Amino acid sequence: DAKTTQPPSMDCAEGRAANLPCNHSTISGNEYVYWYRQIHSQGPQYIIHGLKNNETNEMASLIITEDRKSSTLILPHATLRDTAVYYCIVRVLAGNQFYFGTGTSLTVIP
């Protein structure tokens, strides 16, 4: 049970911001939101995670709503190399499992 809902696909123009939404309406107070991406058939790559505050790193920004029921991953200036499947994950603290859903396939268009 992945506990997250994402659109199956999105397009974004190169150089523009890519905003990827995720719904996690049943998230618990001690669960984090993680984002990963998978390029072609490589292993998934960590992007960012957060609990309730917005987070930013060199790759992306994570915006979590105040009620924590949804979040948005922002790639500020999408490049062709950002074409990938993006996974939003709610991390269950007990056992430290990571459950993936089917993700959003992002295509960056020249």
Least distance from C-beta 28 to other proteins, angstroms?
Answer: 14
Among 9, 25, 26, 45, binds other proteins (CB under 8 A): 45
Q: Tell me if 86 contacts other proteins by CB under 8 A.
A: no
- Report the distance separating Cα 59 and Cα 95, nearest Å: 28
Q: Tell me if 53 contacts other proteins by CB under 8 A.
A: no
Nearest to 107 by CA among 5, 12, 8, 3: 12
Among 9, 54, 98, 109, binds other proteins (CB under 8 A): 98
Q: Are 3 and 99 in contact (CB under 8 A)?
A: yes
- Report the distance separating Cα 67 and Cα 104, nearest Å: 23
Residues that bind other proteins (CB under 8 A): 1-2, 32, 34, 41-46, 49, 85, 87, 91, 95-103
